[in-house]
Amino acid sequence: MGRLFWKLFFGFWLTLLLTGLAVATAVNLLRQTQQQEEAPAVAAGPAAVMLVDGAASVLQHGGVEALRSLLRNDEGRFRFARLHAIDAQGNELLGREVSPEAQNAAAALAAQGRARQAARWIEADGTRYLLFVPPSERRAGPPRHRAQPLLPPAMLMLIAGVAASIAFAALLAWYLSRPIRHLRWAFANAAQGKLDVRVQSRIGRRRDEIADLGRDFDHMAQRLQQLLEGQQRLLHDVSHELRSPLARLQAAIGLSRQNPARADAMLERVEEESERLDRLVGELLTLSRLDTATGQGRVEEVDVMEMLEAIAADARFEAQSSGRDLHCTTGPPSIGRFHVDALQRGIENIVRNAVKYTAPGTTVEVVAQRLPDTKQLCIEVCDRGPGVPENELPRIFEPFHRGEGSSGVSGFGLGLAIAKRAIEADGGTLHARNREGGGLCMRITLPCID
């Protein structure tokens, strides 16, 4: 599950929890209100039991008149618990008014027949009397009114649920719509060609799928900007490279017209420049095809060691013919699935490039070995040429780039660019570094299955 899912999940869960707490609070308030409204009609507790027991003793031993005299004389002393004595016909001993609810509750309590309780039936002078203490008469002074809630509990529950849902919905809408508005703004600017726009700074420190989408957009915009700038540089370089041979072609044609005696020499010059243009166009087509999966050729299983030995053998023949040499060291077979044609051309470009730039009388060293505990093959091609300035190392894989030491060397500066794209198309890497004692080393890593 994604991080945005858990944010939404816990948000809804917290909303339900808060709503449940609000509803529970309202229900508890309703229950307390009902309990206050439904207070018991008969007092309970030790004081009430003691009064009932004392009155029962007086009634049994002294009779009705003794109890009436006790209640009448001591009425002011029992301000907090005034006892009632009611006969079977409902008449109170002192003629005081007692609510029917209190009488019924006292009769029900006395019918239980338990000892030492706050309501009892006592018989005296042939008449049964019900003795009890109603709680409403235990208070001193006028009764106090309980505070009533401003709204009914049911209404409080509804308001709490609606308020919680509105708050969460508003927060969720703001949380989701704010980064989406930033993304819309970024896409609108990108559609207008402003590829330098970035959205990550506007999204902030979010850590969810929307933030990932913003980072992916920034990566996409950066990549598109690099590709567009690269295409513009490529067009500029192509136009520059084409201008020189075309100018020489035009000059040769013009000279042949002015001096027909030199027509054969000019035709040879035209043929040479035409071949140069053909090679340039071929390499440009190869470079452009490597950007697409269909243009990289078929994928086959191949032993890279065997392929490297064949490339090294051809390059050694060329090197020895120009006073140079090449030494190749390989290991056990390393099988992998690659775009064979593109990979072979890329490695060949690197090896022949080393042969081209190494100093006369020196040897190009090619070493291939499996990296320990990995399924990767490492190939290093090292020469003894002039090397490359450190600030130019990242640029040598750009199309038409020529280093300071490349003057007088034929080529268009496309070989390393083709090699890098061919190797990366098969999941490999290509890096360059200067060699101690002079020269350049190219390090290739390729994934292998065996």
Above 60 in pLDDT, residue 296? no
* Listed residue (256, 234, 314, 247) closest to 276, CA to CA: 247
- Domain 297-447 fold is Heat Shock Protein 90 (3.30.565)
Q: 297: left (phi > 0), else alpha (psi -120 to 50), else beta?
A: left
**Domain boundaries, given as residue ranges, for the chain:** 3-39+148-178, 46-134, 209-289, 297-447
Please state whether beta strands 376-382 and 335-339 pair in parallel, antiparallel, or not at all (unpaired).
unpaired
Structure tokens at 73: 């004389």
- pTM (2 d.p.): 0.48
∠ at Cα 22 (21, 26), nearest 5°? 115
- Give the pLDDT score at 380: 94
- The answer to whether the CB of 319 falls within 8 A of the CB of 355 is yes
Distance CA 7, CA 13 (A): 10
Q: Write the CATH number of the domain with boundaries 209-289.
A: 1.10.287.130
Distance CA 388, CA 394 (A): 10
pLDDT in tens, 347-406: 998 999 899 889 999 999 999 998 887 888 999 999 998 888 888 887 888 776 666 555
Give the long-range contacts of residues 106-111, CB within 8 A, separation 24 or more.
106/41, 106/42, 106/130, 106/132, 106/134, 109/42
Token look-up 């902030």 returns 204
- Give the pLDDT score at 280: 75
Q: Express as a percent the part of the chain with pLDDT over 90.
A: 13
Class of domain 46-134: alpha beta
pLDDT in tens, 223-258: 888 778 767 776 766 776 677 778 878 888 888 888
- Give the pLDDT score at 191: 86
Coil/strand/helix, residue 43: coil
